[in-house]
Amino acid sequence: MRLLWWTLAGLAAVLVAAVAGLAFGAVRLPPVGVALEVLNTLPGISVESGLNEREAAIVTQIRMPRVVLGLLVGAMLALSGGAYQGAFRNPLAEPYLLGVAAGAGLGVTMVVALRGATTTGNLPVTVPLAAFVGALGAVALTYLLGVAGGRDRSPATLILAGVAVSAFLAALQTYLLQRHIDVIREVYSWLLGRLAGATWHDVRLLLPYAVLVTIVILLLRRELDVLSVGDDEAAGLGLHPQATRYILLAAASLGTAAAVSVSGLIGFVGIIVPHIVRLLVGSSYRLILPLSMLFGGAFLALADLAARTVDAPREIPIGVVTAFLGAPFFILVLRTTRRVSV
C-alpha cells in the first residue's frame, strides 16, 4: 500500500513538472489549455484547447520533445544512481562522481570528432554505443582503483578514485579536442548539459535504451536488498553477488551513457534524488528504484524549467543548475557519511 501511495505521488510530481514545463517559458501559456492540447495528440481524442495555431505548435513541436527528453534523462540518471549505490553499498556512488559520465563523454567526443561539426544537431545512433563503452571502461577503472585500498576502505575512497579517473579521461578529451578544433563549440555546449533544441529524434534515440535498462534494473531490485547485507550473507541466501553486481553495473552504465549521449553531462541527479527518496520511504530498493525514476524525471524537468526562465531570455545550461543544487547536497551527504563511519 505504501508503494501505491508513493507511486501516485511520483506520478503527480511528473504530471505537475510536465505541465509546468509545457506552459511556462519565453511565451507563457495557460496550463489548462496546454493539458488539453497534449490530450489532442493522443489517438482518437479531439478537444478544444483554446490555443491558437502558433501556441499549439510551441507546445507540441518545441516544448513537448524537450520535456519528454528531460523526464527520460532524469529518470535514467536517478535510476542509475540508485543502482550504483546499491551495487557498491556506498551512499556516495553517483554516475557523475564515479567517472562514468566522463567516460561516456569521452566516447561521445570521439564520435563527434570523427563525424565533424554539423548544423543539424541530430546525433547518430552509434553515439549511445560509444558512450556505453566509455562509461563501462570508466566504472571498471574506478572500481579497480577503489578496491585497491582493501576491504576496510572508507566510503570516500571510491569517490576519490572516480575523481582520478575523471581527471584522466578529461585530459584525453582535451587532447582530442585540440586535434579537432572544428568541433569544440559543439562538444563544449554538450559538456555543460543541454536540453535546448531537443527533438523527437533525441527521444527516439534514448527510448529503447531507457526501456531495456529500466526492465533489467527493476527486475533486480530485490537482489539489491539482499546485496545490502553483504556478499557472504547474500551468497548464503542463494544469490551470486558478483554476477548480479556486474549485470547491475552494466545496465546502470548503459542507462547513464544513453542519457549523457543526448543531454550532455548533467551531474548530481543520481545522488540527490535517490537520497531524498531513501529519506522518505526507507532503505528498501524495491521502493527506492521505481520512485527514483519518477521523482528524478520530475526533478530534471523542473531544473530545465528553471534553466530557461531564471535568466530569460538567456538560458542557463542545465548542468549548471543541477550542480548549483547538487554540490551543497553532496557535501552534506559526505559529512553525514563520514560522521557515521567514524
Q: What is the pLDDT of residues 164-211, one digit of tens each?
A: 998 999 899 888 888 888 777 777 777 777 788 788 888 998 999 999
Nearest residue to 169 (alpha-carbon basis) of 108, 228, 84 = 108
First to last CA, the chain: 37
Rounded to the nearest 10 degrees, the angle between the axes of helix 100-115 and helix 184-191 is 160
Distance between CA atoms of residues 12 and 295, nearest Å = 10
Amino acid at residue number 65: P
Backbone angles phi, psi at 293, to 5 degrees: -60, -50
Computed over every residue of the chain, the mean pLDDT equals 84
Residues 14-25 have pLDDT tens digits of 999 999 999 998
pLDDT given for residue 340 in this prediction: 44
Element (H, E) at 288: helix 285-309
Residues 257-295 have pLDDT tens digits of 888 888 888 888 998 999 999 988 988 999 999 999 999
pLDDT given for residue 101 in this prediction: 79
Q: Is the separation of the CB atoms in 51 and 68 below 8 Å?
A: no
pLDDT given for residue 290 in this prediction: 95
Residue appearing with cell numbers 530557461: 308
Distance between CA atoms of residues 234 and 185, nearest Å = 49
Residues 91-118 have pLDDT tens digits of 777 787 778 878 888 888 888 887 765 5
Element (H, E) at 120: none
pLDDT at 66 over 90: yes
Under the banding of pLDDT at 50, 70 and 90, the label for residue 161 is confident
Average pLDDT over residues 150-171: 76
> Global pTM?
0.86
Strands (E), 118-216: none
Average pLDDT over residues 115-132: 64
Q: What secondary structure letter does DSSP report for 182?
A: G
pLDDT at 159 over 80: no
Taking only Cα atoms into account, the Rg of the chain, rounded to an integer number of angstroms, comes to 20
